Amino acid sequence: MAMALAIMLFCSLIGVFADGVSGRATASFVFGDSLVDAGNNNFLQTLSKADIRPNGIDLAASGGEPTGRYTNGRTIADIVGEKLGQVSFSPPFLAPNTTGRSILNGVNYASGGGGILNGTGQIFVNRLGLEIQVNYFNITRHEIDKILGKSEAKLFFMRDAIFSVTIGSNDFLNNYLFPFLSAVVRLNETPDAFVDQLINTLRTQLTRLYTLDARKFVIANVGPIGCIPYQRSINRLTESECVSLPNELARQYNVRLRDLLSELNENLPGAKFCLANVYDLVFEIITNYQRYGFKTSSSACCGNGGKFAGIIPCGPTSTMCDNRSEYVFWDPYHPSEATNLIIGKYLVDGDSKYISPMNLRQLINL
């Protein structure tokens, strides 16, 4: 009997130790735009799609077939989920088979062209803005209540789930700064007023998620959007130049976002909002690309038009680079899987320079 109790205790301790090292099984609920879309736009009548080759050419899970991800392989959300022990990628909400117990692994609501504001991305016709994405999570929330029971579901969301939000770039690129449309928007709103609108809308949606029992958040700021191949191509810049206005607006928004997350951490009991400093991390990779093993940080691997292949999106007729791991950017707008791997590594296990007030491994183990 004593030996049996000792074995049981030993096994229990090993379980606790393993839990502390690797974290509990993580459910990942993903909100955002094309940087993290896992295929929701495949099910929309939209001009923003990535379900054509060669997108996904390096995605082992699909055998190299396109899935609707706007990159050559895994997105940042995919990589973070893997590093945190997620058993499979969070499936797109709109996929017909995203039902039943499969949603206990998490769900992806992100949509290419979507933004914080409902009006963002209207040039694509259809897309899921953040408000709609949160509405869809509410549907998932009730489904998990039915699967687990309300009390267990509440514990599941508070303890075992991470809520990631990667959004905001389209609010500048395909709204405030978009040719023709931007003339009307900027006539009516100063940059300060537009950023105010973004922050106030984001506050509302993050608070809605909190009321639906979300507690562990990671919110990405807007990256250096003036450095993407599209902006460099249409503005005919040199290889070392970035467009100043988009980056200035991104930095302005990012300062306000940091303040917002501090406010929410203070005012929403039990919640922890982590800031993913994507701007500084991506700018570091772009500036010192050779240090990270890249050949170029200005040209798209897959695209056409302009000096940096940055005008026409990636598709079957695009020019594609030979070694995709040597390019910071996959297409005119989106990072390559190689870049996503670096970003994911820093977000999961990095220090406060790029993820604060704690990294994601520490967050899931709270």
What secondary structure does DSSP assign to 32-50, as a single string? ESTTT--SGGGGS--S---
Three-state SS string across 139-172, please?
HHHHHHHHHHCHHHHHHHHHHHEEEEEECCHHHH
Alpha-carbon gap, residue 341 to 354, rounded angstroms: 14
Q: Rounded to the nearest 10 degrees, what angle do helices 150-160 and 130-148 cross at?
A: 130
Alpha-carbon gap, residue 355 to 244, rounded angstroms: 25
Q: Would you call 334 a catalytic residue per the annotation? A: yes
Which of 48, 299, 331, 336 is flagged as catalytic?
A: 331
Answer whether 291's CB lies under 8 Å from 219's CB: no
Which of 111, 213, 299, 334 is flagged as catalytic?
A: 334
Alpha-carbon gap, residue 331 to 311, rounded angstroms: 9
Q: Would you call 34 a catalytic residue per the annotation? A: yes
Four-residue CA torsion sign, 39, 44, 49, 52: positive
Burial of 352 (0-12, 13-18, 19+ CB in 10 A): exposed
Alpha-carbon gap, residue 306 to 322, rounded angstroms: 19
Q: Among 144, 139, 142, 138, which residue's Cα sits nearest to residue 160?
A: 144
* Rg, Å, the chain Cα set: 21
Which of 34, 233, 298, 336 is flagged as catalytic?
A: 34
Answer whether 46's CB lies under 8 Å from 127's CB: yes
- In this structure, which amino acid lies at residue 314? C
Four-residue CA torsion sign, 204, 76, 132, 250: positive
Alpha-carbon gap, residue 41 to 161, rounded angstroms: 24
**CA distances from residue 186 to 63, 68, 177, 181 in whole angstroms, order as listed:** 45, 32, 8, 9
Q: Which residues are catalytic?
A: 34, 331, 334
